[in-house]
Chain A
């Protein structure tokens, strides 16, 4: 009898815990499901302009005018072919990539070199120099246009890639110094002391010990520089006068007239301009996330 009672009790406990578990799982599923639904909806809303841009890029002008929000009924690949020829796509992409890569290399080396002593030396002078560097971030870019133009003209570098590289490097140095100084302050001094005991000079310590540790923050800095160079219109239009040397964004904006827009050119041009950036971000997504979260947890 007792055995039966115990068994039935165990069974009832089992069934009640099972039902509890089931309800917990069910609750969890509902919670998870609604979270997934919510996140998907937010993602869809955030991506809707991009999706719209891609769909529109394949439609004819007449279709867009008749039904601006409709999906393409036929894919007009000719839109892309026309734009690629009109904007010298390969040339402008190569120009932009070249200028961006050189700028990233220069900014990361120069600003990390400047940041190293600023992060390590504790004096009023170093604080002042640090503030001086940061001031560069608050100068409105338009206020610097004429002095920069004079500077580049006097160097004889107008209408050259070097002009753009110099302007972008100078423009991003304060940001680089700011990033690196904050990051280097978190690197333990013991590492440098160990290297010093091994007889390394300060420059060697920087190059072999510090610089390799800056990878994550350099990734983040590279994103900022890439976006800055990629989206800039003013500097290429000011310093470059030969069409073949233009970077991508001025080439895209050519399709945006003063009083009219040709969607069959503007949308494909916008897609083509974002494409290399998307490829880079997908290829380097791991490093980018590492860079963004670096220093978040100590």
Chain B
């Protein structure tokens, strides 16, 4: 009798266990953040999510962004994608444009997003993702080297920058590094900051006018001035074009700045955390870009990644819960603090420390342009960094020819 009871009990326990395990939903999330070099407080947020939804188990599938380009499309085409994928504007353009992502217009989080960011959440009228962060690019400043060179205030304009460069050079300090290896990222960003800021409060989406064909690059004085700005910086020895062209912005440029070998480094806001962790340089701050078309410096917004649901996701409801969970200030701020970036939520908490106050002040004052990722034609996006780097190496060339070439690429895309 006891044996029978024991067998019945264990059978019942087994059934209960199997029922409970069957009830658990496994949510597969593919992301290029959350592990390895970019943990970004994911373990804490996942733990909170699983506490709130005990029937959902998160399976984080971490891979580098470039690897997502190859592996996720294959899974989407096979109708077996992850339940949630991390995307950015470029992925939205490709996957959203190909109908691989689920529209999220009816989701509650959409109303919580800052109004000026809503237009970046999808394509046309369709909303495809929940943007987690606005990151940005500015100029890192080694405050000690500034003091050493006697430069008391940060330059707001290219003219002031040229003056500062002279002071640095007189003291034997390299003023700036325009690291351009592997695709010309830094000169591209710096050029766009100068060219898109056509006034002290520029339209953050001015690039759209060029992409739609409404404006011509070749006719735009601000674009021409940006090339002149580059020329002025080179003539004033603000940076060494040859050294800059051979420097990788993601590794060597960072070590060069951190070791105190250069006074200014244009880079992304995401480097605040590693710089602070290393306590190198000992005193640094993040500033906006000096401008050529006005008198107030500008920052460049970089609309960050977020979550999207593939149309063939097997766990749509759990995926929607995941997205909604992230898009609450309580949870999002944990991520933003770790990734030192700006909130996308109305009244949300950003994770930017005080050393980036000059950057934030400029942004709050409307001195901001937007990095055009995913919003310009692919050919143009590939051509511009190379042309700008080429100009950096040969500043005597006629920039009107470059601008005319960009117009042709836009025309080609429109036709």
Residue ranges of A at the interface with B (Cβ–Cβ < 8 Å): 61-62, 64-68, 86, 142, 145-146, 149-150, 153, 158, 233-234, 237-238, 241-243, 250, 253-262, 265-266
Knowing A146-B77, A260-B250, A261-B37 touch, does A65 contact B255 (C-beta < 8 A)?
yes
The answer on a CB contact under 8 Å between B38 and A257 is yes
Knowing A61-B278, A149-B78 touch, does A237 contact B37 (C-beta < 8 A)?
no
The answer on a CB contact under 8 Å between B61 and A241 is yes
Closest to B75 in A: A149
Contacts of B277 in A (CB 8 A): 61
Is B124 part of the contact surface with A, judged by Cβ < 8 Å?
Answer: no
Contacts of B63 in A (CB 8 A): 237, 250
| Nearest CB on A from B243, distance (A) | 15
Closest to A241 in B: B61
Contacts of A242 in B (CB 8 A): 59
Knowing A66-B258, A146-B78, A153-B78 touch, does A261 contact B280 (C-beta < 8 A)?
no
The answer on a CB contact under 8 Å between A62 and B278 is yes
- Residue of A64, A233, A234, A255 near B37 (CB, 8 A) is A255
Which residues of chain B (67-86) have a CB below 8 Å from chain A? 67, 70-71, 73-75, 77-78, 80, 82
The answer on a CB contact under 8 Å between A234 and B259 is no
Knowing A65-B278, A237-B71 touch, does A265 contact B37 (C-beta < 8 A)?
yes
Closest to A257 in B: B37
Residue ranges of B at the interface with A (Cβ–Cβ < 8 Å): 28, 32-33, 35-38, 59, 61-67, 70-71, 73-75, 77-78, 80, 82, 250-252, 254-255, 258-259, 268, 270-271, 274, 277-280
Contacts of B59 in A (CB 8 A): 241-242
- Residue of B67, B82, B274 near A260 (CB, 8 A) is B274
Knowing A61-B278, A146-B77 touch, does A260 contact B70 (C-beta < 8 A)?
no
C-alpha gap A149/B80 in the complex (Å): 9
The answer on a CB contact under 8 Å between A260 and B270 is yes
The answer on a CB contact under 8 Å between B75 and A258 is no
C-alpha gap A234/B270 in the complex (Å): 27
The answer on a CB contact under 8 Å between A255 and B74 is no
The answer on a CB contact under 8 Å between A238 and B75 is yes
* Residue of A150, A238, A242, A250 with highest tally of chain B CB at under 10 A: A238
The answer on a CB contact under 8 Å between A237 and B67 is yes
Sort A-B residue pairs by CB-CB distance and give the 10 closest, nearest first. A254-B36, A257-B37, A65-B258, A238-B71, A145-B74, A146-B74, A257-B38, A262-B37, A258-B65, A149-B78
Closest to A62 in B: B278
C-alpha gap A51/B277 in the complex (Å): 27
The answer on a CB contact under 8 Å between B75 and A255 is no
The answer on a CB contact under 8 Å between A256 and B64 is yes
The answer on a CB contact under 8 Å between B259 and A67 is yes
- Residue of B35, B70, B74, B78 near A254 (CB, 8 A) is B35
* Residue of A68, A243, A260 with highest tally of chain B CB at under 10 A: A260
The answer on a CB contact under 8 Å between B70 and A142 is yes
C-alpha gap A238/B68 in the complex (Å): 9
Closest to B251 in A: A261
The answer on a CB contact under 8 Å between B274 and A233 is no
C-alpha gap A253/B75 in the complex (Å): 21
The answer on a CB contact under 8 Å between A65 and B62 is no
C-alpha gap A10/B254 in the complex (Å): 75
* Residue of A62, A65, A238, A266 with highest tally of chain B CB at under 10 A: A65
| Nearest CB on A from B77, distance (A) | 5
Contacts of B271 in A (CB 8 A): 259-260
* Residue of B33, B36, B75, B80 with highest tally of chain A CB at under 10 A: B36
The answer on a CB contact under 8 Å between B67 and A234 is yes
| Nearest CB on B from A67, distance (A) | 7
The answer on a CB contact under 8 Å between A255 and B255 is no
| Nearest CB on A from B24, distance (A) | 15
The answer on a CB contact under 8 Å between A258 and B32 is yes
C-alpha gap A142/B70 in the complex (Å): 8
C-alpha gap A139/B78 in the complex (Å): 20
Contacts of B70 in A (CB 8 A): 142, 145, 234, 237-238
Can you list 29 A-B pairs, Cβ within 8 angstroms, ordered by A?
A61-B278, A65-B254, A65-B255, A65-B258, A66-B258, A146-B73, A146-B77, A149-B78, A153-B80, A234-B67, A237-B67, A238-B70, A238-B71, A242-B59, A250-B63, A250-B67, A253-B36, A253-B64, A253-B67, A254-B37, A255-B37, A256-B36, A257-B38, A258-B32, A258-B38, A258-B65, A259-B250, A260-B38, A262-B274
Closest to B185 in A: A259
The answer on a CB contact under 8 Å between A254 and B268 is no
The answer on a CB contact under 8 Å between A254 and B62 is yes
* Residue of B35, B78, B251 with highest tally of chain A CB at under 10 A: B78
C-alpha gap A250/B63 in the complex (Å): 8
Given A149-B77, A238-B74, A256-B64, list of 18 further CB < 8 A pairs? Answer: A66-B258, A68-B259, A145-B71, A145-B74, A146-B74, A146-B78, A149-B80, A150-B78, A233-B67, A234-B70, A237-B67, A238-B70, A238-B71, A242-B59, A253-B67, A254-B36, A254-B62, A261-B37
